[in-house]
Structure 1
């Protein structure tokens, strides 16, 4: 006589008893790894990473072959990231990127580059964008690129440098950053 139950006699209760050890093992692994938590109110914002934007602006102004501006950002804006990249393609060049978290917790990125606008916008956007208008901020005209469901991009020509602003921040933050960039002289190289 076989020791196993016939397949017809196996039911949901047998399935539950076999899953219980698997669930307990998964919970033990999660507790040991501390990789999950229970948050009934939803996710909470963690600390903003620290980034020394002043040092990055100064370093990029010495190392890159075009003028770099260090804008005065409003109180409550925290620099959280920075990078340098090479804009590929015809009209490409170097770029300096500094990200900020606004007082409302929204991200906004400032990119300064010697690449052409035609090369810089698709490089930063990662997908085609279309001009949707312009904004006049101080002495500079900013070309606005956007569309439905995409982050806005503002670009202005500052002579040897193209300045680009992007991110999910509201247009008022774009205006604030564009005003701050336009009101400062380039750092000494």
Structure 2
């Protein structure tokens, strides 16, 4: 008969931490990594049913009227300066050639007071070429809206596009905002100052 010194009901003790090998440490890290990533992602994200939101006070800000006046000096068409509402911020203005077709585009990006993004594109390019340049394709039109007596053709896609022809210049509005903010930018563009082609910037 042999004597077992270990009591029958004593729980088995885990090995000391110093006894853990590299395999056990790697396994523990792989278990914890998804939890850390999940918690980090949740702390940075917010739910936005209408599309992505941007902090209106964050990011770069540019003087859109001044930059649009400068663009009008070189643009071969009349350039409008939108009279956007207080609380809207412009974050970019540029001028470029329309890809895949003749024409120049003057672009101005805006962050609305609600934190949505909109872009206004003014161009002398044909409507189809301008839509393809902005959207990468020509989605089917989904309807027409009237803003201030001006007819805007609405195109579907990942983001809606509104296009109007005003005195031979194509005006295009696109972005993540809702219809009300699309209308606001369309109205602000139509009501804004119009600079004839080649207008020199003020001294």
Q: TM-score range by the shorter chain?
A: 0.7 to 0.9
Whether contact under 8 Å (2:153, 2:164) holds in the other structure is yes
For structure 2, the 5+ residue unaligned runs are: 1-19, 29-39, 47-54
TM-score, normalised via structure 1 length:
0.76
| Number of corresponding residues | 163
1:43 shift after superposition: 4.3
Residue 189 (structure 2) pairs with residue 181 (structure 1)? yes
Residue 122 (structure 2) pairs with residue 112 (structure 1)? yes
Whether contact under 8 Å (2:159, 2:174) holds in the other structure is yes
RMSD: 2.8
1:68 shift after superposition: 0.2
Q: Which residue of 1 aligns with 2:153?
A: 143
TM-score, normalised via structure 2 length:
0.71
Distance of 2:149 and 2:71 partners within structure 1: 25
Distance of 1:83 and 1:16 partners within structure 2: 56
Matches of residues 71-86 of structure 1 in structure 2 within 5 Å? 71-86=82-97
For structure 1, the 5+ residue unaligned runs are: 1-11, 21-37
Whether contact under 8 Å (2:107, 2:120) holds in the other structure is yes
Matches of residues 60-99 of structure 1 in structure 2 within 5 Å? 60-90=71-101, 92-99=102-109
Distance of 2:62 and 2:187 partners within structure 1: 22
Q: Which residue of 2 aligns with 1:30?
A: none
The 3 A distance-change label for structure 1 pair 18 and 137 is: closer
Distance of 2:97 and 2:26 partners within structure 1: 55
The 3 A distance-change label for structure 1 pair 139 and 16 is: same
Whether contact under 8 Å (2:128, 2:138) holds in the other structure is no
Distance of 2:128 and 2:193 partners within structure 1: 25
Distance of 1:101 and 1:18 partners within structure 2: 45
Higher relative CO (Cα under 8 Å, sequence separation at least 6) belongs to 2
Q: Secondary structure at the match of 2:144?
A: strand
Moved more, 92-101 or 48-57: 48-57
1:152 shift after superposition: 0.3
Residue 148 (structure 2) pairs with residue 158 (structure 1)? no
